Amino acid sequence: MRVLITGGAGFIGSHLAEKCIKLGEKVFVIDDLSTGDYKNIENLTPNQNFNFVLENILNEAVLDRLVSECDIVFHLAAAVGVTLVMKDPVRTIETNVEGTGLVLKIANRHSKKVIIVSTSEIYGKGMNESFSEEDDRLLGPITRSRWSYACSKSIDEFLALAYYKQNNLPVVICRLFNTIGPRQTGYYGMVVPKFIDQALLGKPLTVFGTGAQTRCFCCVLDVLEAFLLLAKPEAGNGEVFNIGSIEEISIEKLAKKVVEITGSKSEIRYLPYEAAYGEGFEDMQRRKPNINKIQQRFGWQPKYSLAETLKLIINERNPIG
């Protein structure tokens, strides 16, 4: 199979590229390295089945050629991370809406299956015990930049399902809940790599707000297994699937766990949201997936515990420790 991965030099995309190469697939990656990193794919470049194209996905001619040559598209190129969204909302909206629009238009031209990688962020700030694919969503006001990410990704999802309904284009939407793992950078604000780097450097771990807010962190290696199940030609077309862990932890407990596992002497420092993200930030207090759908249909469930995943990340950063 020939696989195209947009954003394949990013954290999740590069793991997917590596996995597909291991499975003997021919892999094409298109990435403009805006948030991705060449180092993530460097070890794959000697492989004759691996092809890297340094380009923005808005280059239609290049994207058209790549899509025409592949059997399936994993669309991961996107502006991600709350910090980036708050700092550069124009880029977030344009990359997500225009980029996905073009990917779908071209995939439709060549009738190629597309896996749209979306986000639990689209569920917004509702206080549901867990979120199911068909749940209502509660987003904050348009004046708060954070929600531009959820809205841009929602449009991506609507458009993908519209192509399925109108043109029978095989698309699957994967809503990821806080994916973590080796290679993820803390630079764009993601809490787990930030805490681990802070702990390993002996710096204070910065808990925003009270730390009572909870998340469920899923190992990227588990996410890849879900992608591969949904990539099969007949699997999940025209449907949405939550992909995440159901092991819930507060951010305060996460900080304590990271300190404990790394054996760090770092203190935990509590910061108001305004100090972290600027005025007008809204956080969600809880975000847990209901994964019954993918579990019942495809038998998928996460295999890695949070502690195991944290250890994988710590070992990658600190191989001797």
Active site (catalytic) residues? 149
Judge residue 307's burial from the number of C-beta atoms within 10 Å of its C-beta, 0-12 exposed, 13-18 middle, 19 or more buried. Answer: exposed
| Beta carbons of 279 and 231 less than 8 angstroms apart | no
Q: Which of 44, 77, 117, 190 binds ligand UDP (CB under 6 A)?
A: 190
Does position 56 interact with ligand UDP (CB under 6 A)? The reply is no
Instruction: Using the minimum distance from each CB to ligand UDP, give the nearer residue, 163 or 304.
Output: 304
SS3 99: helix
Task: Tell the smallest beta-carbon distance from residue 301 to ligand UDP (Å).
Answer: 21
Tell me the per-residue interface mask from 209 to 248 with ligand UDP, x by CB under 6 A, - otherwise: ----x-x---------------------------------
Task: Tell the smallest beta-carbon distance from residue 148 to ligand UDP (Å).
Answer: 13
Does position 251 interact with ligand UDP (CB under 6 A)? The reply is yes
Q: Which of 189, 236, 244, 289 binds ligand UDP (CB under 6 A)?
A: 189
Judge residue 48's burial from the number of C-beta atoms within 10 Å of its C-beta, 0-12 exposed, 13-18 middle, 19 or more buried. Answer: exposed
**Going by C-beta distance under 8 Å and a sequence separation of 6 or more, which residues neighbour residue 209?**
251, 270, 272, 273, 283
Instruction: Using the minimum distance from each CB to ligand UDP, give the nearer residue, 207 or 224.
Output: 207
Tell me the per-residue interface mask from 96 to 135 with ligand UDP, x by CB under 6 A, - otherwise: -------------------------x--------------
Task: Tell the smallest beta-carbon distance from residue 281 to ligand UDP (Å).
Answer: 8
> How far apart are the C-alpha atoms of 295 and 246, rounded to whole Å?
12
> How far apart are the C-alpha atoms of 101 and 16, rounded to whole Å?
22
- Restricted to residues 286-305, the positions that interact with ligand UDP (CB under 6 A) are 287
Task: Tell the smallest beta-carbon distance from residue 241 to ligand UDP (Å).
Answer: 19
Does position 191 interact with ligand UDP (CB under 6 A)? The reply is yes
| Beta carbons of 140 and 146 less than 8 angstroms apart | yes
Does position 82 interact with ligand UDP (CB under 6 A)? The reply is yes
Does position 282 interact with ligand UDP (CB under 6 A)? The reply is no
At residue 191's C-alpha, the angle toward residues 186 and 193, to 5°, is 45
**Going by C-beta distance under 8 Å and a sequence separation of 6 or more, which residues neighbour residue 29?**
4, 5, 8, 9, 13, 17, 41, 50, 51, 52, 53
**Which H/E stretch holds residue 292?**
helix 292-298
> How far apart are the C-alpha atoms of 112 and 237, rounded to whole Å?
12
What is the C-alpha radius of gyration for the chain, rounded to an integer number of angstroms?
Answer: 19
Q: Which of 67, 78, 103, 207 binds ligand UDP (CB under 6 A)?
A: 207
Residue 205: CB atoms within 10 A of its CB come to: 25
| Beta carbons of 132 and 121 less than 8 angstroms apart | no
Of the candidate spans 29-37, 48-56, 208-216, 305-313, the one that interacts with ligand UDP by CB under 6 A turns out to be: 208-216
Instruction: Using the minimum distance from each CB to ligand UDP, give the nearer residue, 19 or 194.
Output: 194
Tokens representing residue 9 in the block = 């030099």
Instruction: Using the minimum distance from each CB to ligand UDP, give the nearer residue, 104 or 176.
Output: 176
Of the candidate spans 132-140, 161-169, 183-191, 309-317, the one that interacts with ligand UDP by CB under 6 A turns out to be: 183-191
Q: Which residue ranges make up the site for ligand UDP (CB under 6 A)? A: 82, 121, 178, 189-191, 194, 206-208, 213, 215, 251, 283, 287
